[in-house]
Amino acid sequence: MCYAIPAKIIAINGMTATVDYFGEERKVLIDVDDLKINDYIYAQGGVFVRKIPQDEALEILKTWKEVFFELKKTDAALAKIDQDKLSPNALAVLQKINLRKSLTKPEMLALLELNDPQELKVLYEIANNVRQREHGNSSCVHGIIEFSNYCSNNCYYCGIRKEREIPRYRMQIDEIIAAAKHASENYGFKALVLQSGEDFWYDDEKLVQIVKAVRKLGVLVFVSLGLRTKETYKKLYAAGARAALLRFETSNAELFAKIRPGTTLEDRVQLIKDLKEIGYVIATGFIIGLPGETNQDIINNILLARYFAPDMYSFGPLIQASDTPFATLPSVAKDLVLKTIAITRFVDSNSNILVTTALETLDANAKREALLAGANSLMINITPKDYRHLYQIYNNKVNANLEIENAIDDSVKLLYALGRAPTDIGVKNC
Ligand code: SAH
Ligand code: SF4
């Protein structure tokens, strides 16, 4: 769920509140004890973010109401499937999904191996239909601040790996807080991802200070810091972080060992389990297109991600990064990523699926196509411009030089055109 409009609490049961968004009910985890029925709140990722005074909430809802239902009509029209045009195979998939039956592994593999353009079109339409059925027209738009490109690791695919000689930067604590404040106050972001290389210059004390200050802005704090100890993540949770983005990269342990020297899949998986145990909302996923990866691996990746019951799936194509061991790998086919999105939508119909920057970098149209193939979430880079172009985890990363206003505008325009409600980042007339 990612409506970032005021939600009215209609029931409270222990730490779970049932909230209403223009007639749609959602569940929200509440970790404060001063909330009562009829209060208005913001929630993100199924987690309480902040309370809103009633008059302010009613004013915002008044502005949204008309636009919201107009957008819903567009979304519903785009999500229609012409049943007469479905092949028997596609119809069988749709029937299974409608009956909420799980697809078998061979069925998933068969979908991943589809290549006929007409069949792919139908596959994406069905995934979009499932997305619309499960989420309505809600769409998550999170902001991401990439606060340091120092990294102590040497992942073979990554452009900021330790061994690579590149200009390095570290944002100071007050710079990070200022960037978060700007995003929250000027653009209305309700969820912010704080990401970096594995940079231990930021010790627990510094990280706690950052998380506390960003949480105070009334946003969901997402951390994406790579392998840190469970203790560190516990401290960050206590400081107010509630979501963690950590990909396992590949479910194939042998392949993992080859691409992330000095670390193991087991450690990464254990950390994701620890994060869940601490109470974090999880975003996880993998890279598509690692050397030697098979379609079976991709299906296993989807299933491993689902095992963690994530709030959000984050997977994208490997993009070449110069001067790394994988600099000359062939580009990943866009349809392979779109098919993976569609299958993930079937495997976990109620999840949030992110359109990654890597996919946008692979193909300029991919953002729109992914949103019409089952994806429902976007991330906007709000790293200050002086630093943004230096966080080159791969070549030609999109929007490296775009003003934040323009990046937001592009995303909002696209979401509006598709009938999605970008409630996180403000209201506009359709
Ligand atoms: N250091 C942290 C977070 C930053 S990297 C970590 O590794 O978890 C964030 C993600 O970027 C990684 O999880 C990886 O999946 C992705 N990534 C790195 N290099 C990439 C490349 N060349 N192409 C596509 N994705 C890449
Ligand atoms: Fe560092 Fe993350 Fe890049 Fe690996 S993927 S080198 S951990 S930034």
The structural domains of the chain, with segments of one domain joined by +, span 7-76, 78-133, 137-422
CATH of domain 7-76: 2.30.30.140
Q: What is the pLDDT, as a whole number, of residue 64?
A: 79
Contacts of 420 (CB under 8 A, 6+ apart): 71, 75, 137, 138, 139, 371, 376
For residue 8, the surrounding DSSP H or E stretch is strand 7-13
Ligand nearest to the CA of 149: 2
Q: What is the pLDDT, as a whole number, of residue 424?
A: 56
Pick the CATH number of 137-422 from 3.20.20.70, 3.90.1150.10, 3.10.150.10, 2.10.109.10: 3.20.20.70
Give the CA dihedral 263, 265, 269, 271, nearest 10 degrees: 0
Whether 151 lines ligand 2, by a CB cut-off of 6 Å, is yes
Distance 169 CA to ligand 2 centre (A): 15
CATH topology identical between 7-76 and 137-422: no
Beta bridge mates, 379: 142
- Cα separation of the two ends of the chain: 22
Q: CB–CB of 341/374 below 8 Å?
A: yes
pTM comes to 0.91
- Dig out the tokens for 217 from the structure: 């802005």
Q: What is the CB neighbour count within 10 angstroms for residue 35?
A: 17
Q: What are phi and psi of 10, to 5 degrees?
A: -110, -15
Contacts of 352 (CB under 8 A, 6+ apart): 1, 2, 45, 135, 140, 311, 312, 313, 376, 377
Q: What is the pLDDT, as a whole number, of residue 3?
A: 61
Nearest protein CA to atom 8 of ligand 2, as residue: 197
- Dig out the tokens for 56 from the structure: 């302010």
Angstrom distance (rounded) from CA 417 to CA 230: 42
Q: What is the pLDDT, as a whole number, of residue 1?
A: 41
Angstrom distance (rounded) from CA 303 to CA 175: 39
Q: How far is CA 367 from CA 53, 218, 356, 415, in A?
A: 36, 29, 8, 10
Pocket (CB within 6 angstroms of ligand 1): 157-158, 195, 197-198, 224, 226, 246-247, 249, 287, 316, 318-319, 321, 358, 393-394
Q: What is the pLDDT, as a whole number, of residue 385?
A: 93
Q: CB–CB of 299/72 below 8 Å?
A: no
Angstrom distance (rounded) from CA 107 to CA 233: 38
Which ligand 2 atom lies nearest to the CA of residue 260?
A: 4
Ligand nearest to the CA of 224: 1
* Closest to 221 (Cα-Cα) out of 238, 204, 206: 238
10-residue mean pLDDT series, the chain (430 residues): 76 90 84 90 82 90 81 84 73 75 90 91 91 86 96 98 97 98 92 97 98 96 97 98 98 97 96 97 97 97 97 97 96 98 95 95 96 95 95 92 89 91 49
Q: Where are the beta strands (DSSP E) in 106-217?
A: 140-148, 191-196
* Closest to 372 (Cα-Cα) out of 114, 166, 57, 132: 132
